[in-house]
């Protein structure tokens, strides 16, 4: 068994007085797909945002691919280059074309020549089936198209881990499928993924493990089949009965 690519030990986080993450212990191995679910305010988004230091943890340690997350900026930047993130609100850069959105980081962070970056970007855009929109601007695309582009943008940095923060929650129902399909393809290609979502269908199809969080704690963690068939905790049972 190889070393886990993400290792979180005894992590605690407060927002002011309010403790939002309590005693989180989590290790994720390479190529695994983890789905994190739970009610609103359970801290799931905060948890994955701590992994790429969009939020800071006060206690405990987080180690990503051998690098420990501290205030050391060089560490943070090294980690961010290996961890890609897709947001609920897409957050595409509206003043740049789709192609430029994708090539921005490779050119400025990895110092890639523009042509190579564009080749890479077109490849990723084709993977999510949006290559024909490459020269349009985010304002001209639908929500589903924008989110797929956001996935391609994150993939252009060739990350080892992909984090998804409720990627389909801001989409109209008819566009959810196209984004989930893109994520399924990504999973099948072997990417390590941590996905915060309410889409249990996706979890059943692709996830290796499911984590249930409530009130800042990891309540239950099990392999997908086990999780849905035999939820152990009462809270998990309650949550599943509301969602499914």
Partner 1 sequence: MNATVRKLIPQLITILVVVLVFGFFTINAQTNMDNRGIEFGYGFLSQEASFDVQFSLIEYDGSHSYARAYLVGLLNTLLVAFIGIIISTILGVIIGIARLSPNYLIERSAAFYVEFFRNIPLLLQIFFWYFAALRALPLPQDAEAIMGVFFLTIKGLFVPRFVWENLDVFFYSILAVIISIVVIKNYARRLQENEGKQLPVLYISLGLFIILPLLTFLIGGVSLGFEIPVIKQLSTTSFVYEGGLGIPPELIALTLALALYTATFIAECVRAGIQGISKGQKEAAASIGLTPNQVLKLVIMPQALRIIIPPTTNQYLNLTKNSSLAAAIAYPDLVLVFAGTALMQTGRAIEIVSITMLTYLSISLSISVLMNWYNKRIAITEK
Partner 2 sequence: MNKLNFLKPDKENLHTYLYIGSSLFFISILDVFLGAFFQINITSFLPEFLSFIFPLIIGLIGLHLIRIEFTGIKNLDTVNKNINTNTFNAVLTLLIIFVIIKSLPPLMSWFIIDANIAGDTKEACTGTGACWTYIKIWMRRFVYGMYPNDYQWRINISFILLIALAFVGYIPSEKLKKFLTLYYVVIYPIIAFILIYYLISGGAFGLEWVETGAWGGLSLTFIVSFFCLIFCFPVGMFLALGRRSQLPTLRYISIGFIEFWRGVPLITVLFMSSVMFPMFLPEDFFMDKLVRVIIAISLFEAAYVAEVIRGGLQALPKGQYEAAKSLGMGYWKMHIFVILPQALKLVIPGIANTFLALVKDTPLIFVVGLLEIVGMLNLAKTNPKWLGFAMEGYVFAAIIFWIICYAMSKYSYNLELKYKTER
C-beta separation of 90 from 150 below 8 A: yes
Residue from the set 25, 27, 58, 119 that interacts with partner 2 by CB under 8 A: 58
Complex with partner 1: residue 3 or 132, whichever CB lies closer: 132
What minimum distance in Å lies between the beta carbon of 193 and partner 1? Answer: 15
Of the candidates 161, 166, 219, the residue with the CA atom closest to the CA atom of residue 196: 166
Footprint on this chain of partner 1 (rule: CB under 8 A)? 52, 54, 77, 80-81, 83-85, 87, 89, 91-95, 104-105, 107-117, 136-137, 139-140, 150, 153-154, 156-157
240 contacts which partner out of partner 2, partner 1, none, CB within 5 to 8 A by kind?
Answer: none
Burial category of 78 from C-beta neighbours within 10 Å (exposed 0-12, middle 13-18, buried 19 and up): middle
17 contacts which partner out of partner 1, partner 2, none, CB within 5 to 8 A by kind?
Answer: partner 2
Give the interface size with partner 2 as a residue count (CB under 8 A).
5
Give CB contacts under 8 A, 24+ apart, made by 80-83: 80/52, 80/53, 81/109, 81/110, 81/157, 81/159, 82/159, 82/160, 82/161, 83/51, 83/52, 83/159, 83/160, 83/161, 83/162, 83/163
128 contacts which partner out of partner 1, partner 2, none, CB within 5 to 8 A by kind?
Answer: none
Residue from the set 1, 2, 17, 40 that interacts with partner 2 by CB under 8 A: 17
Residue from the set 71, 115, 234, 244 that interacts with partner 2 by CB under 8 A: 71
134 contacts which partner out of partner 2, partner 1, none, CB within 5 to 8 A by kind?
Answer: none
C-beta separation of 9 from 60 below 8 A: yes
Per CB under 8 A, 18 contacts partner 2: no
Per CB under 8 A, 234 contacts partner 2: no
139 contacts which partner out of partner 2, partner 1, none, CB within 5 to 8 A by kind?
Answer: partner 1
For residue 134, report the phi and psi dihedrals to the nearest 5 degrees. -55, -30
Of the candidates 4, 34, 42, the residue with the CA atom closest to the CA atom of residue 222: 34
Residues that bind partner 2 (CB under 8 A): 16-17, 58-59, 71
């Amino acid at each position: 068994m190889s070393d886990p690519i993400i290792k979180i030990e005894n992590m605690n986080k407060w927002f002011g007085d309010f403790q939002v993450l309590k005693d989180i212990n989590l290790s994720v191995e390479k190529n695994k797909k983890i789905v994190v679910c739970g009610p609103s305010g359970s801290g799931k988004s905060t948890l994955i945002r701590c992994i790429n230091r969009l939020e800071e943890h006060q206690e405990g340690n987080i180690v990503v691919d051998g690098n420990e997350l501290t205030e050391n900026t060089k560490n943070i930047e090294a980690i961010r280059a290996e961890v890609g993130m897709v947001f609920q609100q897409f957050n595409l850069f509206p003043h740049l074309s789709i192609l430029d959105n994708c090539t921005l980081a490779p050119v400025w962070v990895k110092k890639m020549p523009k042509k190579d970056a564009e080749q890479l970007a077109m490849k990723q855009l084709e993977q999510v089936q949006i290559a024909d929109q490459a020269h349009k601007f985010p304002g001209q695309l639908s929500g589903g198209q924008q989110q797929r582009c956001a996935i391609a943008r994150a993939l252009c940095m060739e990350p080892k881990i992909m984090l998804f923060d409720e990627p389909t929650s801001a989409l109209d129902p008819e566009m959810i499928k196209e984004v989930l399909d893109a994520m399924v393809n990504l999973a099948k290609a072997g990417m390590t993924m941590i996905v915060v979502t309410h889409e249990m269908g996706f979890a059943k199809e692709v996830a290796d493990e499911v984590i249930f969080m409530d009130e800042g704690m990891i309540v239950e963690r099990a392999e997908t089949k086990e999780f849905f068939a035999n939820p152990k905790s009462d809270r998990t049972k309650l949550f599943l009965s509301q969602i499914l």
